[in-house]
Chains A and B, each alone.
Chain A
Amino acid sequence: MKIFHFSDIHAGSKKHFRQENLLHIIDEINNGGYDLAIFTGDATNEGQRDEYELAREMLDKIEVPLISIPGNHDARSGGIKLFEEYIGPQNGVKVFGDAVVIYVNSAIGDSNDGRVGRVKFNMLKKALNDHSDKPIKIVAIHHHILPIPMSGRERNVLANAGDLLDLIQRADVDLVVSGHRHYPNVYKVENTVFINAGTASSAKTRYGDVNSYCTIEIDDKENKVTTKRLNGQNTTRNFKRKSKRIFTEFGDREFRAVQLSNTYFSESSSFLSNHFDQALKSLKTLDPDLLIHCGGIVKEGTPRDYDFAIKQLNKLDLPMIFTPAARDINYIGYHLFNQSFGELDQSFKTDKFLFQGLSTPQYDSSIGVVGESERKVLLELLKDSPQDFRTVFLHHNIIPIPHSREKGLLEDAGDLLRELVDADINLVLTGTSYHPYATRVGETVIVNVNSLSSAYQRSRFGNSFNMIDIYEKAIVVSEVNALWGEHRFLGIWERNER
C-alpha cells in the first residue's frame, strides 16, 4: 500500500500561501501511483470563507482517494463550520482494503492547543476495537502526540497526548500521521511510526527549512517512510513492523538499577511513611547496584524537610544518585540540595555503564527546561563517553505520560528527545507526572516512574518504584509496588535491536 501524507497547506493570502508548491505536490500525488492521500489539517490560514474556497479548489485537483481533517487554523473565526461545508466531516473511519484510517479533529476553536475530548476519544477507542483485525491501522490527527524538534520552547502536544499514546500502543496502530508544527519528523515508538509531514505550502517554515511532505509504503514486514523536501532532499527509513515478542536468550545480568521519584520527605501527611519503610525492605532484598532518584526528594526545599530526608535516606545502605525536581531546589533548597546530595548534574560510571543526570527544574517555577547550551554540553559529554551503555536521568518527561497533562513535559522535550534518540542513548529515566510508563522510541528505552511515597499518585497499581535489569541481550523493566512488593512488567526490549 502506498500512502501520500501532506499537511498544513494554509490556503490564503499570497504572503503566506505558496500555491505553486502545493500544485507541485498535487502533481506528485496524482502521478505517483498512490492508493490514498491523507491531509492532516490547516487547510486555511484563518478559517475564512475565501480561504476555504481556495483550499477546496486545490484539493479538488487530487485524483486519488483523499482523507482530510481540520487543524487549529481551520477552527479560527468559527471556521470549523465552513470546514464541514467545503472540505468534509471532521471525524470518521474509512476502510481501504487491508487498511483502516481513523481520523479525528483535535482543534479547539480560536486556540493553537489541541485536545481529543471524551466523545472523540471513545470514538477512536471503539473504531480501534471494531477494526482490531485490520492488518494496517492508521490514525490521522492534526496535533502531534510526541513533541517535535526545532519547535523552540513551545511543546504544544495534545492536552491528553499521554492517554492517546497509551491507547495507540495498546491497539497496535501502525501509523500516526500529523501536522501542526511546520517541521517534518519521524519516530518509531515500539511498532507504531509517528509521522509529522511538515508544511506543504505555508511560507512559515522553521529554521529556514523548505516545504515538505511524506510518502509511506507498507508491506507485510516493513514500513518505508520517506520525508521529501521540495529542494529535492529525501530521507528514507525502513521500519520493521513487528519487534521481537518472545524472549528466550538473556545472557548474564550486567546491572540492576532501581529508579524512584517523589519520596516527598516531610513530616506532613503527604509523606507515606509506611510505603517508604516497606519499599526499603524490598530494596534490600533486590540488592540493586545503584538507586537513581529522579527528583521530588523532599516536599519543600526547607531545612526541616531536608533534615527529615537525610534521616530517612540514612536507613538505606546503597549507592544512590539524585536529580532535583523544582520542589527540591525551591526556597533554600537550592543550597540544601548541594550540601546534602552534591552536584545538580550527578553521574555514576563503570567500565560499561554511564548514568548521567540532567538537572531540568528552574528556581521558583514549575516549568522544566534544559536549554540549548546545556543540551550541547550534555551531548558532547555523551559522545565522548567510552561506556557501551549510556543512560540519561532527569525529572521532567520527554514523552507524554498517561493520566497526565502537558505540564510535566520538559519545555524543550522536542529537541532533547530527538537528540537522545539520534545519539542512540540506551535508556532515559524520568520521574514526574505520578504515573508509571515505559516505551521505546527508536533504540532508546524511556521509563517514567510513579511516586514512591507521596500521597499524590495516579496509578491504580499504587505507589511504586521501577527495577531496571540490564542483561547482555535484553533490558527488562518492572514496576514494584511500594507497599506489597508485587511486580509487574513495564516492558522487555532487545538490546541493540537495530
Chain B
Amino acid sequence: MKKTPPSEKLEIPIRRFVTKRLIGVNRDATIQEAASRMVEFKISSIAVVDHEDVIGIVTDTDFKKKALAEGRSPEEAVHKIMTSNPVTADINTTVRHVLELMYKEKVKHILVSEDKKITGITTLKELEELDLHGLETLIARE
C-alpha cells in the first residue's frame, strides 16, 4: 500500500487540525483570575480579549517569567504580562508554514485566524500528533 510521504502531510492546511475554541479572559482580569481559569480548564495558554478581539496571549512561562520572577502582585491586570501581537497564522496556511513559524519565533502556541479574526489555536503538541491523524485516514478507508 502506498503511504503518504511525511513531506506531503506538511503541505496540508492547518484548518483540519486547529482547536476552533479558545478560552480567554478579559484584558482587565487579574493575573490570579487568569491563572485560576487556566487551572480550571487544564490549559497551558489563555487568550486575552478586549471586546471580543484577541489582543494577546499568556502562557505558563509568562506567569513564571513576567509575574513571579518580576515580583508582580496577583491583583495586577493580566494584560501587563501578556505577549501583545502574538504570533498568528491564517487557517489556510500549511502545517509546514506553521512549524517554521514556531521554530523562527520560538513559540509553541500559535493563534489561528480566519478572515483576519482569531478563531482558534494550534500547538506544537497537536501538530506532532499529525501522524495519528494519518492513521485515522487509514481506518476511515473501507
**A-side contacts of B69, CB under 8 Å:** none
Contact A248 B49, CB 8 Å, known A170-B15, A170-B16 = yes
Are the CB atoms of A248 and B25 closer together than 8 Å?
A: yes
Known: A132-B91, A171-B15. A492 touches B23 (CB 8 A): yes
Interface flag for A277 (CB, 8 Å): no
Q: Which residue of A lies closest to B22 (CB)?
A: A246
Contact of B22 among A129, A163, A245 (CB under 8 A): A245
Q: Would you give the shortest CB distance from B95 to chain A, in whole angstroms? A: 11
A115 interface hit (Cβ, 8 Å): yes
In Å, the complex CA distance between A397 and B41 comes to 27
Q: Name the contact of B140 in the complex, choosing from A128, A163, A246, A492 (C-beta under 8 A).
A: A163
From B118, B120, B136, B142, contact of A159 by CB (8 A):
B142
Contact of B92 among A115, A132, A491 (CB under 8 A): A132
CA distance A247 to B24 in the complex (A): 6
Measured between beta carbons, the chain A residues less than 8 angstroms from B139 are 163, 403, 458
A217, CB-defined interface residue at 8 Å: no
B89 part of interface (Cβ distance < 8 Å):
no
Chain B residues with CB under 8 A of A331? none
Tell me the complex Cα distance, A478–B92, Å.
27
* B52 lies within 8 A of chain A by Cβ: yes
Q: Which residues of A are found within 8 Å of B26, using beta-carbon distances? A: 248
Interface size on A, residues (CB 8 A): 32
Contacts of A247 in B (CB 8 A): 21-24
Interface positions, chain B 14-69, Cβ under 8 Å from A, are 15-17, 19-26, 41-42, 47, 49, 52, 54
Report the separation of the CA atoms of residues A431 and B99 in the bound assembly, to the nearest whole angstrom. 37
Bound Cα distance A487, B38 (Å): 13
* Inter-chain contacts of B25 with A (CB < 8 A): 248
Chain B interface size band reads 20 to 34
Q: Are B52 and A403 in contact (CB under 8 A)?
A: no
Q: B residues within 8 A CB of A170?
A: 15-17
The answer on a CB contact under 8 Å between B13 and A492 is no
* Chain A residue with Cβ nearest B41: A476
| Contact partners of B119 in chain A: CB under 8 A | 242, 245-246
Contact indicator B137/A125 (Cβ below 8 Å): yes
Contacts of B92 in A (CB 8 A): 132-133
Is A315's CB within 8 Å of the partner chain B? no
How far is B49's CA from A362's CA once the two chains are assembled, in angstroms? 51
Contact present for B13 and A489 (CB under 8 Å): no
Q: Which of A105-156 contact B (CB under 8 A)?
A: 115, 117-118, 121-122, 125, 128-129, 132-133
CA distance A129 to B4 in the complex (A): 15
Q: Does A47 contact B (CB under 8 A)?
A: no
A14 at the interface (CB under 8 A from B): no
The answer to whether B118 and A246 have CB atoms under 8 Å apart is yes
A498 within 8 A of partner (CB): no
Q: What is the distance, in angstroms, from A485's C-beta to the closest C-beta of chain B?
A: 10
State in angstroms the CA–CA spacing of A395 and B116 once bound together.
Answer: 42
CA distance A122 to B8 in the complex (A): 14
What per-residue 1/0 map shows which CB atoms of A237-260 lie under 8 Å from chain B? 000001001111000000000000
The reply to whether the CB of A44 lies closer than 8 angstroms to some CB of chain B is no
How many angstroms between the C-alpha atoms of A163 and B17 in the bound complex? Answer: 15
Question: A173 to nearest B CB, angstroms?
Answer: 11
Query: Is the CB–CB distance between B21 and A118 below 8 Å?
Result: no
* Interface flag for A160 (CB, 8 Å): yes
Complex interface: chain B residues within 8 A of A133 (CB): 13, 92
The residue that A129 contacts in the complex, of B12, B20, B136, B141, with Cβ under 8 A, is B12
Known: A132-B15, A248-B23, A460-B136. 16 other contacts (CB 8 A): A117-B141, A118-B142, A132-B13, A132-B92, A133-B92, A160-B142, A163-B140, A245-B20, A245-B21, A245-B120, A246-B22, A246-B49, A248-B24, A402-B136, A478-B42, A491-B21
18 pairs across A/B with beta carbons < 8 Å? A115-B142, A118-B141, A121-B141, A129-B12, A129-B13, A163-B140, A167-B16, A170-B15, A246-B24, A246-B119, A247-B22, A248-B25, A403-B139, A460-B136, A476-B41, A489-B21, A491-B21, A492-B21
